[in-house]
Structure 1
Amino acid sequence: MLMDPWVAGSQAASPLLPVEARGRTSPCIRQSGSEHVSIPRRKGFWTIIGLLAVPLWALWPLMAVIASDSLPTFQFSAINYAVAASTLFLSSRRRPYTSRMINQQLVSILMVALGVLVGNVLFLYSLKFIAPAQSNVIVYLWPVILVVLATALGLMTFSPRHILSVLLALTGAVLVIGPDLATGSWKGVVLAFGSGLAWAVFCVYRIWQGPDAPDALIAGLTVSSVSAMVIHFMVETTTLPTPLSLFVVIFTGVFPLAVGALCWDYGLRRGDKVVLAVSAYATPLVSILILAAFGRAQLTAGILVGATLIVGGGLVSSRQVRSL
């Protein structure tokens, strides 16, 4: 999934932002906004906790592939988001949302739905046309797309380093997409790119909101769940989940989405923010290895090199981007 840093407790969660800005609140989506009790622990311990988010997020493509074998896309998404929202709500110490809070945060809530629902649904549909490994790597063009969009809108300063970033990412994408040029699987490529674009647009919006952007994750996931269920009843036939698919959808909602969010939040608050920010870019490579380990992806030189270049492009772009 797009769970690559899709929940961030501080500005360090976005590897696209400079070290000097990482002590402030994240312009990208925030986790649950819960007030955690301060527990004295060593910084290294909390860094390890934060690093656990990367393999949890990397499990999303495998879980999505398994669930999509037996569950319609929107039915899977609706249950998945409901489980994640419930888990985060139960772990939150904040007061329940009031109608006034929801009205004030309506646009933010809708933008969460854009990033989460639209992004993930496009990813799931792309799996019908291209391999999961290819789709996941293409989706991870989103950090570079973010830089281009934010720069065009005057939210970030562009530098020669970012030109190198874009070139690396595009070269990687060509290597990943290359095999599909002959087979005509452009629908899958476009859907995967659209998934990354949806997430990038969402993050650009959060950057535009600034460091005081309201917390809208729980409400946004709830809206995503309800929307997915409505669309499911309109365009899909309800399928009784098998024990395996039911386990997968609950596991995905609790762990990659909710627990991954909590680990990332704790790590960013108390651990090494720079290490965690850079580690987030390992997610697509880890997910490819997981897919291959379970026989759901074939490792090719093109995919591995392409993924490495895309990750490298993201890392290069992360070093000197600064908000205006």
Structure 2
Amino acid sequence: MTRNRATAVGFIAVLLWALLAVLTVGTAPTPPLLLNALCFTIGGLLGIAWCWPNGGLNALRNVSWRVYLFGSLGLFGYHLLYFSALRLAPAAEAGLIAYLWPLLIVLFSGLLPGEKLRAGHLLGAVLGFAGAATIITGGGAQFDTAALPGYGLALLCALTWSGYSVLARRMGTAPTSTVAVFCLLTAAASWVLHFTLEASQWPIGLGGWGATLALGLGPVGLAFYVWDIGVKQGDIQMLGTSSYAAPLLSTVILVIAGIAAPSWTLAIAACLITCGALLAARASSSA
């Protein structure tokens, strides 16, 4: 697969992740660990079905346990944080903060061998974090302290996924079929912790179960497999920065669905975060 094609395949994940917030809201009131368990069971089985016909599962026995541990912790940690954030804070605002990860990928990838940070990357980061600050402070009009725990978890989401994506580059020899194992191990850990720590609140009705199934098949399923191909074989900086579309698309979808009310604060924050990623993308493309 060529570098450009792998980058394009990776971008499919960005389009799927734009649906993550609206589908997560649709699964309420299912608690985070149970939602993790359900979605990753679906995503893991999807991966097995995808890899089985072409013999992709045969290579799994040669993969180090460290790779399995790394991948499982990355998926488990990010989604537990994300699902928890959207239960504790408004979906659009928390989602925008979580979508600082494309910008953080660019910054962190500057630490990789052969990569370097430019002034445009740093200026883009300033704009992105200004957007996050606009959300947290309510644009100066209000300061919702009740939502702060959710916003904090959303920021940890962004740090977790960007760190995972950049470090995955250092494990480029691991086959994409390992993602199926990551999903199943994440599901197993989530089931155990759910029954230990949470009260079971299953998705409600066809809508709730439909949203859960869609999460497991798309944003918490197929997205991981195509993203793994992109970050390992494609242009990681271009992939990260082209993900600027994710926060804007996610916010627009939430507004169209009636989950988030349109407001100037939300619009300004979305523009700052998106423009910050665009500026960083331009810095990467001019390198």
Q: Structure 2-normalised TM-score? A: 0.81
**13, 21, 33: which one pairs with 1:61?**
21
**Greater shift after overlay, 301-310 or 190-199?**
301-310
- Partners of 2:134 and 2:90 lie apart in 1 by 14
Deviation at 1:219, TM superposition (A): 0.9
Deviation at 1:261, TM superposition (A): 5.5
Deviation at 1:151, TM superposition (A): 3.5
For residue 113 of structure 1, what is the amino acid of its counterpart? S
Name the SS for the 1:96 alignment partner: helix
- Partners of 2:10 and 2:6 lie apart in 1 by 17
Specify the alignment match of 1:79 in structure 2: 38
Q: Which runs of 5+ in 2 are unaligned?
A: none
- Partners of 1:302 and 1:135 lie apart in 2 by 13
Contact 2:105 2:240 in 1 (8 A): no
Deviation at 1:318, TM superposition (A): 3.0
Deviation at 1:263, TM superposition (A): 7.1
Deviation at 1:206, TM superposition (A): 1.5
Specify the alignment match of 1:166 in structure 2: 125
**Greater shift after overlay, 227-236 or 154-163?**
154-163
Deviation at 1:127, TM superposition (A): 2.0
Specify the alignment match of 1:3 in structure 2: none
Specify the alignment match of 2:280 in structure 1: 317
For residue 96 of structure 1, what is the amino acid of its counterpart? L
Deviation at 1:80, TM superposition (A): 0.3
Higher helix residue share: 2
Specify the alignment match of 1:221 in structure 2: 183
Specify the alignment match of 1:14 in structure 2: none
- Partners of 1:160 and 1:213 lie apart in 2 by 33
For residue 64 of structure 1, what is the amino acid of its counterpart? T
Name the SS for the 2:87 alignment partner: coil
- Partners of 1:310 and 1:277 lie apart in 2 by 13
Residue by residue, what CA displacement relative to the aligned partner does 1:199-254 show, whole Å, maximum 9, x if unpaired? 111112123x1643443211111111111111101101223443332222112111
Q: Structure 1-normalised TM-score? A: 0.73
Deviation at 1:275, TM superposition (A): 9.6
Contact 1:63 1:249 in 2 (8 A): yes
Specify the alignment match of 2:55 in structure 1: 94
Shift in CA distance, 95/265, structure 1 to aligned 2, threshold 3 Å: closer
Shift in CA distance, 213/311, structure 1 to aligned 2, threshold 3 Å: farther
- Partners of 2:143 and 2:240 lie apart in 1 by 37
Specify the alignment match of 1:122 in structure 2: 81
Q: Which runs of 5+ in 1 are unaligned?
A: 1-8, 11-21, 27-46
Deviation at 1:300, TM superposition (A): 1.4
For residue 150 of structure 2, what is the amino acid of its counterpart? G
